[in-house]
Amino acid sequence: MRGSAATVANSGFGPALIDSIQYYYQDKRYYDMYSLIKEMKAKAHIRDSTLLISDLWEDKVIPQGEKIYLYQTTNQAVVSQWQQQCQFISCVIYYRSIYGEHWVLDPRKPKHSRNRKLN
Q: What's the domain count of the chain?
A: 1
Residue 48's domain comprises 4-117
Give whole-number Cα distances, 116 to 21, 24, 58, 105, 106, in Å: 15, 19, 19, 7, 8
pLDDT at 77: 79
106 or 119, greater pLDDT: 106
**Residue-wise pLDDT tens digits, 18-29:** 999 999 999 999
- Beta-bridge mates of residue 22: 92
pLDDT at 59: 93
